[in-house]
Amino acid sequence: MSSYYGRDLNNKLQRLIQGNRSVDEYFKEMKISLIRAQIEESQEVTMAWFLHNLNREIQDIVELHHYVF
């Protein structure tokens, strides 16, 4: 992977938020971006990042529920 392409993928991943996507679409885009950028991180880090970039109203709902990694 060229350094420009890798940097571009990382930048895209850093800017990725749920926006107008469904949670499912957002999750799939995040996983595809992680794979393309060849980023491997712990499930805890991925979950924290995923939750942080959900739309606020969904974050509030998720915070009320217990979730398992």
- How far apart, in whole angstroms, are the C-alpha atoms of residue 28 and residue 22? 10
The answer as to whether 17 is a domain residue is yes
The answer as to whether 14 is a domain residue is yes
- How far apart, in whole angstroms, are the C-alpha atoms of residue 67 and residue 15? 25
pLDDT of 22 over the 70 cut = yes
Put simply, whether the predicted model's pTM sits higher than 0.75 gets the answer yes
The answer as to whether 68 is a domain residue is no
- How far apart, in whole angstroms, are the C-alpha atoms of residue 66 and residue 68? 7
pLDDT of 2 over the 80 cut = no
The answer as to whether 29 is a domain residue is yes
The answer as to whether 69 is a domain residue is no
The answer as to whether 34 is a domain residue is yes
The answer as to whether 19 is a domain residue is yes
| Helix/strand/coil for 20 | coil
What integer best gives the mean pLDDT of the chain?
Answer: 89
pLDDT of 3 over the 60 cut = yes
The answer as to whether 27 is a domain residue is yes
Instruction: Report the number of distinct structural domains present in the chain.
Output: 1
Domain containing residue 33: 3-63
